[in-house]
Amino acid sequence: MNPENEAEQPATRAERRRQEAEHAHEIEEAVVAALETEPVPSEAVSAPVGGAPVAAAAATATATKTAAPAEATPGEEEPASNRVLREIMNGPVVLSFLAVLIAFIIGGIMIALTNDEVQETAGYFFAQPGDFFGAVWTAVSGAYGSLFQGAVYNFGKDDFATGIRPLTDTLTYATPLIAAGLGVGLAFRVGLFNIGGRGQMLVAAAAAGWVGFSFPMPMWIHLPVAILAGLAAGAIWGGIVGFLKARTGAHEVILTIMLNYIAFYLISFMLRTPGLLQAPGSVNPKSPAILESAVLPLILGPNYKLHLGFIIVAVATAGVWWLLNRSSTGFRFRAVGTNPNAALVAGVNVKNTYVWAMALAGGLVGLAGVMQILGTTPDGMTSGIDAGIGFDAITVALLGRSRPWGIFAAGILFGAFKAGGFAMQASEGVSVDIVGVVQSLIVLFIAAPPLIRAIFFIPAPDGKLTRRPLRRNSKAVSA
Amino acid sequence: MSEQQSNTQTVTPAADAAISEVLEKKELRSWKAAIALALFSVVSIILFVVFPRHGQTGFRWSGADDLITLPTWHVDAATTGTVVTILLVLLTALVVWVTLQTGRLAPRTRRLITTAAVIVFALAFMVAFLAWAMVGNNVPVTGLLLGTVSLSVPLIFGAMGGVISERVGVVNVAIEGQLLAGAFCSAMVASLTGSPWAGLVAAMVAGVLVSFVLAAFAIKYLVDQVIVGVVLNVLVTGLTSFLYSSVLTKDAETLNTAPRLSPVAIPGLSEIPVIGPVLFNQSALVYVMYVVVALVFLGLFKTRWGLRLRAVGEHPKAADTVGINVARTRFWNVSLAGAIAGLGGAYFTLVSVGSFQKEMVAGAGFIALAAVIFGRWDPIRATLAALLFGFASNLQNVLAAVGSPVPSEFMLMLPYLVTILAVAGLVGQSVGPAASGKPYIKG
Amino acid sequence: MKLELRGITKRFGNFTANDRINLVVEPGQIHCLLGENGAGKSTLMNVLYGLYQADGGEILLDDEVQEFAGPGDAMRAGIGMVHQHFMLVPVFTVAENVILGHEQAGFAGVLKMKEARQRVRDISARFGFDVDPDARVGDLPVGVQQRVEIIKALSQDARVLVFDEPTAVLTPQETDELMAIMQQLRAEGRSIVFITHKLREVREVADAITVIRLGKIVGEAEPTASNADLAALMVGRSVDLTVHKEPAQPGAEVLRVEGLTVLDENGLKVVNDVSFNLREGEILAIAGVQGNGQTELTEALLGLQNKVSGSITLNGAEILGRSVRTILDAGVGFVPEDRNRDGLIAEFSIAENLMLDRSTGEPFVKAGNVQRAFRDEFATEKRTEFDIRSGGINSLASELSGGNQQKVVLARELSRDLKLFVAAQPTRGIDVGSIEFVHKRMVATRDAGVPVIVVSTELDEVVALADRIAVMYRGEIVGIVPSNTPREVLGLMMAGERHTEAPEAAHEVTA
């Protein structure tokens, strides 16, 4: 029907390859002279959002290109203090902070706009503007105040032990977010985009739940087996993606999106089918409660919801850090993530790496599912057990720049949003949905530093074209 | 010796020689079609022969009040199953034979036979499946198709948005967000103004706004397009849900009670049996859809707009060197894509439901994306894919009503499974626009 | 149309790619812009074509100052360009490519394809091209694609035509045809800028020559100038591409390739029934125009190609079909043709790049842990030994110049215990100093007894390094000849003419 779609012809491929090769070569040419003597400060290549996903064979050329102008700063006459200030202002931490700030401001505007009091006082704004601003202040500070009190420390309580409870709630909410964030972040570092969090969590929760309610065992064996079952299920679900990508070249974004739905319908079916996951004697699509021996124990006593899962996730974070930064497997993962072609030539089995990385990522996301079923809602599983964490994890990983401890911190921040969001809805009547808005705004702003600079009038780092864009590797590896 | 002459003498044969001297080619056998058919043959053997269901199934072709009524066909489910299974096995054998003839038969002939076999295979399988699944009942063919169209409309709009966006080089994962924004704004504006037409305009504006963000981040800030798309979906979901809870629900009477577009029968055409009620007794939005699909198809392949759009998506630098502004072309076409997808969102509120509900799009955007890929970035094929997905989902409804032997979840899964098979290369090759997803950096 | 550039300056950061360049091209003149890779020729032409905005200077056409905001403006002003990397959309037909950007359209923007096809046919007829307007450009051979580029420029009635390195992908025969076309265009009174770094072509067609080096015009020459003079102008010092090496002392046979055939993903035989052998202590150079299967051949040696048949034995052991890992471990060192794509990881440090192909076991890895202390020690040592100029071993590869990047690749590969060393285009795009270094190391490797295969499209390099020369054409080796074979013979072989001398006989000569 349309000739454009026929398989690419040989001459095209050869040609394209030639062009790619020569293009990189040519750019490098232009830069050679500029670089011959003096090395460039590494800032030009310092990790932007997402860390590793950034790299890309395609981006290599860009990297080389940006490297040249990056060197341009020295020699200009300007006060050193200005330069230092500008460098600080352009640092990732400051930019991240500003991204959070601007997202909160926009969220505040939305809260104010939808507030009845504010709308009412706006009606007679010119008569008594004070009323209007007072109402805005009350609405926004009330909402964010209760968000804080619901997430960190409740000043309304008398003793520290009750006052600090929101913080432990935050950590509880953060637990699956971190686990899933690690899964997404690890995949990013290998150049893969794992949007399959939902599906991986669902199958993992189902597997862990099934072991958890079906087989009475002593706790020291039951709990680990249940967790492992969940990890394995998540790993398989993720591994399918890696396998299909490696074997057929299918794009993992499409695969993971599709597998989310397949998992959802599969688990829905199992949950409403007696003999599979449905609780005996029930007509609801819900599993039986998890046996006591497979529930993650509370670590701060019965007054706090914080469970063992948080410790497990902290250990997992350390493990992923070791894997990526110290182990040879991680070395190969990062190599594949930044330049799969070079990795291939260096003897790395890129296809297997995709399979293993996706399995590992699926396992980590699966851990989030395990946390949900064995920690958060052990009274039984529904098909909504993922609670949107699979998608939140993407924002967590991006905010954490795909660095394990960055993800840990980002997970806690978003956990705080969740804990506080519910408190805010309860006490101030501000819909918890605003949290999703603020979260996504944060990620959008973080992804585009020039935008933040424009908003806050920060001069761009001189001489640089732009910060290196957030980019993943999209180039397929042949052979 | 004249130069002109020497040129003509040397150049022409050389060009010929170069063409004929193209590298020797060994034709590669592709077993994909054969494997796919064999798989389905096995399924049909298991379902229709090993576990046959006995009884009569009727295929009802018209409603009681139709002008022209056609008789209902009655078939025996088990017999149909067996006959069809034999046919399927034969078709599979045919495709295997054709595959083995690689190198002997002309590629075009092979493709022709294979395509024909696959189409017959699919239809036959569907008849047998319906006969098997609906045993003891009548299959309301018209109703089945009518529901298919209804469920497909937003998918088709979304897919057209996806096709345009991806063809111009911007991966559009934000179709879901565009549909949702369109649904929200059309409901609110139509409720406020009392005019569904104003709602349609609002839906387009909403879709364009989402596109603006996508385009700005993807084209100006060079942020990964998939990431922007995913985050935009979260943003739009959060935004519409927040506004729904804090604005729409407070005064649902004035803000969330949209006047609906009612079906308009096209005189004459709507009287045609089966096709008439399915295609020509629909709401205005569906007619708009026909026009959009036709325009997108003709526009892409026959006009200057389409040529430039495709050039930008395939080889942006080449487009740049002939004076086409890549960033601007991408920006406005992504916006156009948003407007079209926004219309699809309006279908939910202005035709299906009449009001906005939280997260009411429920993944239709992702199915539309699947249709784009399954349809190989071609407007017509993407439309057919969307119809297929709509059919699967509607079939599930119909089967559920009569107590289906197949769990409804598996029917709902079908679009996603098919898409995985498609991207995994089992159902044809899915090669997208070459520069799709890649930001264009000048210089 | 007369073209004049006055004081064109273009900077990237603080790197000046073009420094106050002046150039006058008269109508009916072929003006050669001669310079090494990276001298700034392409940048200058991109400024002329409106792709880059100049930081200073002006462009005049027929003595009128022009302002080009983009290529569209330049095209309207009558400038046409035949790009080094063809600016053609592979999935479009010839006619579609030709009209792109200045389409004639009727109602509602519907394209007038009939007129477009006719236009392609008209121009083709005028120059004796045989180009089908409905052929898909991606299906056409490279030489024909270039003609489409020329048609594209002419369909706009370009009065000034720029040819940017047009012969890089052509066989000598196709190059001759292109020269004839250029002369014909000149006869029509068009002004032609011909960018190249190949002296022979310059002398053949140029009416005027401008030599550019490091972004500056360093001189002008008459077409009668000697090769040596032009070369000296181009590189700034007398070049000595001759590599000082002793005659080869070939030992036992190490590598034997028999009937090697490589198919690409579309089933094309990109390497077709290739056989050769290689002994200890000799350098086999594989010559040929780019894209005649050299890349795929070297990739097949390393196990990077999937659809391969035939046999490759290394010291008697079959390595065809083995994984890259196994082949690397068997002692094959490999310098890929495109180091940015295949040789290095730009975001990794020098130290990390130096351990890239030894990430699975000792000495770099113990018990799954990267031995960071050993790695850094190793890197420090190699940095000195290979004279890698960088801030330190933790500098990222992307911060290095091309020459230093290549030294990293070389250091990594030559630090292993090698049985065979394969280097594809090892000196492409690197500075003269690094070229000498690379050549020396390769000869040293040979002298240490390791057989070396070097792939190069530069005949000078081939002749300088090789003990034997294999010439590839359309996937086949058309002959293996001794290194003292006359260049004319090599040129004919590169155009596909089989050489009568049998491979074995050639071997005898060197041995």
pLDDT in tens, B87-103: 999 999 999 998 888 77
Please tell me if residue C331 touches chain A, with a CB cutoff of 8 Å: no
Q: Which domains does chain B have, with CATH numbers?
A: 32-136 (no CATH), 142-404 (1.10.3470)
The neighbours of chain C, by the rule of 3 or more Cβ pairs under 8 Å, are A, B
Residue A43: per-residue pLDDT? 33
Q: How distant is the Cα of B124 from the closest Cα of chain C, in angstroms?
A: 33
Rounded Cα–Cα distance for residues C348 and B419 (Å): 37
Residue C498: per-residue pLDDT? 78
User: Which residue in C52, C174, C266 is closest to B443 by CB distance?
Assistant: C52
Rounded Cα–Cα distance for residues C507 and C505 (Å): 5
Residue A90: per-residue pLDDT? 64
Inter-chain Cβ pairs, chain A and chain C, closer than 8 A: 231
User: Which residue in B23, B27, B303 is closest to C109 by CB distance?
Assistant: B303
Residue A67 pLDDT class (50, 70, 90 cuts): very low
Which residues 141-180 of B have a C-beta within 8 angstroms of A? 173
Please tell me if residue C81 touches chain B, with a CB cutoff of 8 Å: yes
Rounded Cα–Cα distance for residues C33 and C162 (Å): 10
In chain A, where the domains are located? 92-151, 161-444
User: Which residue in C265, C346, C369 is closest to A63 by CB distance?
Assistant: C346
Same domain assignment for residues C305 and C157: no
Residue B252: per-residue pLDDT? 83
Q: What percent of chain A is modeled with pLDDT above 70?
A: 77
Residue A32: per-residue pLDDT? 37
The neighbours of chain B, by the rule of 3 or more Cβ pairs under 8 Å, are A, C
Please tell me if residue C401 touches chain B, with a CB cutoff of 8 Å: no
Tell me, yes or no, whether C112 lies in a domain: yes
Residue B298 pLDDT exceeds 80? yes
Which residues 358-417 of C have a C-beta within 8 angstroms of A? 359-360, 364-365, 368-370, 372, 389-391, 395-396, 398-403, 405
Residue A40 pLDDT exceeds 90? no
- What value does the mean pLDDT take over residues A178-194? 95
Residue C409: per-residue pLDDT? 95
Residue C236: per-residue pLDDT? 60
**Using a CB-CB distance cutoff of 8 angstroms, which residues of chain A are in contact with residue B424?**
244, 247-248, 250
* Interchain contact, A447 vs B221, CB within 8 Å: yes
Same domain assignment for residues C45 and C189: yes
**Using a CB-CB distance cutoff of 8 angstroms, which residues of chain A are in contact with residue C338?**
20-21, 24-25
State pLDDT tens for residues B39-63: 889 989 998 888 888 888 888 887 6
Tell me, yes or no, whether C245 lies in a domain: no
Same domain assignment for residues C386 and C412: yes
Q: Which amino acid is at A193?
A: F
State pLDDT tens for residues A313-337: 999 999 999 999 999 999 999 999 9
Q: List the Cα angle C181/C184/C185 in 5-degree steps.
A: 90
Cis amide leading into A39 (omega within 30): no
Pick from C228, C234, C236: which is nearest to C37 by CA? C234
Rounded Cα–Cα distance for residues A239 and B49 (Å): 35
State pLDDT tens for residues C202-251: 888 889 999 888 788 888 888 887 776 776 777 665 455 567 788 888 88
Q: Lowest-pLDDT range, B308-322, B340-354, C29-43?
A: C29-43
The token duo for B147 is: 């529901």
Please tell me if residue B221 touches chain A, with a CB cutoff of 8 Å: yes
Q: Lowest-pLDDT range, A417-421, B46-50, B272-276, C421-425?
A: B272-276
Tell me, yes or no, whether C325 lies in a domain: yes
Q: List the Cα angle C59/C60/C66 in 5-degree steps.
A: 70
DSSP string, A85-137: HHHHHTSHHHHHHHHHHHHHHHHHHHHHHT-HHHHHHHHTTTT-HHHHHHHHH
Same domain assignment for residues C261 and C190: no
- What value does the mean pLDDT take over residues A4-20? 40
C429 or B261, higher pLDDT: B261
Rounded Cα–Cα distance for residues B72 and B58 (Å): 6
Residue A5 pLDDT exceeds 70? no
Q: What percent of chain A is modeled with pLDDT above 90?
A: 46
**Using a CB-CB distance cutoff of 8 angstroms, which residues of chain C are in contact with residue B11?**
127-130, 177, 180-181
Tell me C259's DSSP state: E
Residue A75: per-residue pLDDT? 36
Q: Which amino acid is at A97?
A: F
**Using a CB-CB distance cutoff of 8 angstroms, which residues of chain B are in contact with residue C158?**
none
Which of A235-244, A383-392, A455-464, C461-470 holds the top average pLDDT?
Answer: A235-244
Tell me C359's DSSP state: -
Residue B441 pLDDT exceeds 80? no
Rounded Cα–Cα distance for residues B399 and B404 (Å): 5
Mean pLDDT score across all residues of chain B:
85
Residue A460 pLDDT exceeds 80? no
Q: Residue B30 class from Cβ within 10 Å (0-12 exposed, 13-18 middle, 19+ buried)?
A: middle
User: Looking at the whole model, is its pTM more than 0.80?
Assistant: yes
Same domain assignment for residues C275 and C381: yes
Tell me, yes or no, whether C107 lies in a domain: yes
Q: Number of helices (H) and strands (E), helices first, in chain B?
A: 17, 5
Residue B48: per-residue pLDDT? 87
State pLDDT tens for residues A260-293: 999 999 999 999 988 888 988 888 899 999 999 9
Q: List the Cα angle A44/A56/A87 in 5-degree steps.
A: 15
Residue B170: per-residue pLDDT? 92
Residue B67: per-residue pLDDT? 65
Domain boundary among C200, C235, C270: C235
Residue C267: per-residue pLDDT? 76
Same domain assignment for residues C265 and C192: no
* Interchain contact, C101 vs B6, CB within 8 Å: no
Interface test mutation site (partner B, options C48, C49, C51, C100, max chain B beta carbons within 10 A): C100
Rounded Cα–Cα distance for residues C444 and C438 (Å): 10
Please tell me if residue B319 touches chain C, with a CB cutoff of 8 Å: yes
- What value does the mean pLDDT take over residues A440-466? 75
The token duo for A203 is: 């199958």
Rounded Cα–Cα distance for residues C327 and C419 (Å): 10
User: Which residue in A20, A30, A346 is closest to C38 by CB distance?
Assistant: A30
User: Which residue in C13, C334, C340 is closest to A64 by CB distance?
Assistant: C340
Same domain assignment for residues C213 and C66: yes
Same domain assignment for residues C277 and C304: yes
How many structural domains comprise chain C? 2
* Under 8 Å between Cβ of A390 and A263: no
Tell me, yes or no, whether C264 lies in a domain: yes
DSSP string, B39-100: HHHHHHIIIIIIS---SEEEEE-S-TT-SS--PPEEEEHHHHHHHHHHHHHHHHHHHHHHHH
Residue A42 pLDDT exceeds 50? no
Tell me, yes or no, whether C243 lies in a domain: no
Residue C319: per-residue pLDDT? 93
Residue A333: per-residue pLDDT? 96
- What is the complex's ipTM, to 2 decimals? 0.81
Residue A17: per-residue pLDDT? 44
Residue C199 pLDDT class (50, 70, 90 cuts): confident
Residue B220: per-residue pLDDT? 87
Residue B430 pLDDT class (50, 70, 90 cuts): low
Q: Which are the contacts of B140, defined by CB distance < 8 A and separation ≥ 6?
A: B60, B398
Which residues 40-79 of C have a C-beta within 8 angstroms of A? 40, 42-43
Mean pLDDT score across all residues of chain C:
86
- What value does the mean pLDDT take over residues A364-379? 94
* Under 8 Å between Cβ of B190 and B202: yes
Same domain assignment for residues C171 and C106: yes
Residue A239 pLDDT class (50, 70, 90 cuts): very high
Which of B24-28, B418-422, C131-135 holds the top average pLDDT?
Answer: C131-135
Mean pLDDT score across all residues of chain A:
80
- What value does the mean pLDDT take over residues B281-302? 94
Q: Lowest-pLDDT range, A104-108, B234-238, C104-108?
A: C104-108
Same domain assignment for residues C34 and C97: yes
- What value does the mean pLDDT take over residues B382-393? 90
State pLDDT tens for residues C319-357: 998 999 999 999 999 999 888 889 999 999 999 999 998
User: Which residue in A2, A435, A472 is closest to B301 by CB distance?
Assistant: A2
Residue B10 pLDDT exceeds 50? no
Minimal-distance CA residue of chain C relative to A35: C401
- What value does the mean pLDDT take over residues B219-246? 91
Structural domain including C215 reads 3-235
* Residue for token pair 């709009």: B157
Q: How distant is the Cα of B253 from the closest Cα of chain C, in angstroms?
A: 44
Residue C507 pLDDT exceeds 70? no
Residue B244 pLDDT exceeds 80? yes
Q: What percent of chain B is modeled with pLDDT above 90?
A: 41
C196 or A146, higher pLDDT: A146
Minimal-distance CA residue of chain C relative to A58: C341
Give CATH for domain A161-444: 1.10.3470
Residue A81: per-residue pLDDT? 63
Same domain assignment for residues C226 and C263: no
CATH number at residue C133: 3.40.50.300
* Interchain contact, C174 vs B14, CB within 8 Å: yes
Residue B25 pLDDT class (50, 70, 90 cuts): low
Tell me, yes or no, whether C244 lies in a domain: no
Q: How distant is the Cα of C64 from the closest Cα of chain B, in angstroms?
A: 21
Pick from A399, A446, A343, A473: which is nearest to A55 by CA? A473
